Amino acid sequence: MNKEQKKQYINEMTTQFDKTEAVIVTHYQGLTVNQLDDLRKKMREHGIKFKITNNRITKLALKKTKCKDLSNLFSGPTAVALSEDAITSAKILTKFSKENEKLKILGGIMGEDILDVSGVQNVATLPSLDEARSKIVSILRSPAENIASILLAPASKIAILALEKSKK
């Protein structure tokens, strides 16, 4: 890289680190090109950028961002996942690292919180936003369905139920 390309890389990385909600740092040593392409494809499907970094220049970019505490993770063959949804990126990376032991999750940041490896794995166990919404809707819907089924039950079933209750 020439000097101008380095400046452009630093500016690009600085804006990406500042704009994203979640950054997860990984080591990818030993993964084949096909495995990296597969991982990138899975990430892109969810709007997540997975980028192999130049450590020395990335550390310069990190100095000016909220992610500056992650600079100690940038040594060796490093790649970062940049996304707005920390849970989805953590789930994809955790699942991929279980299938391909050569991908090592080093840590990350979610909002303002610094995460270590176990923190990223804990985030991966959380329900995604869509899953949480569906659970809330099913909880709210359940009592209404029960009341409706009771009201729609034939009168004979209600009479039988009342009779049985009076015998006790």
* Residues sharing a CB contact under 8 Å with residue 99, sequence separation 6 or more, in sequence order: none
Burial (Cβ within 10 Å: 0-12, 13-18, ≥19) of residue 98: exposed
Q: Where do the domains of the chain lie, and which CATH numbers do they carry?
A: 3-126 (3.30.70.1730), 130-167 (no CATH)
Residue 112 has a pLDDT of: 81
pTM of the model: 0.74
Residue 153 has a pLDDT of: 62
Strands 104-110 and 22-27: antiparallel
Q: Please write the tens of the pLDDT for every residue from 56-99.
A: 888 888 887 888 888 888 888 999 999 988 888 999 999 999 99
Distance from C-alpha of 153 to C-alpha of 72, rounded to nearest angstrom: 65
Question: In the predicted model, what is the mean pLDDT of the chain?
Answer: 84
- Taking residues 15-23, report their average pLDDT: 87
Per-residue pLDDT band at 145 (split at 50, 70, 90): low
Percent of the chain with pLDDT over 90: 23
Residue 167 has a pLDDT of: 77
Q: Please give the backbone phi and psi of residue 146, each rounded to the nearest 5 degrees, phi first.
A: -65, -45
Residue 25 has pLDDT above 90, yes or no: yes
Range among 13-17, 41-45, 151-155 rated most confident: 41-45
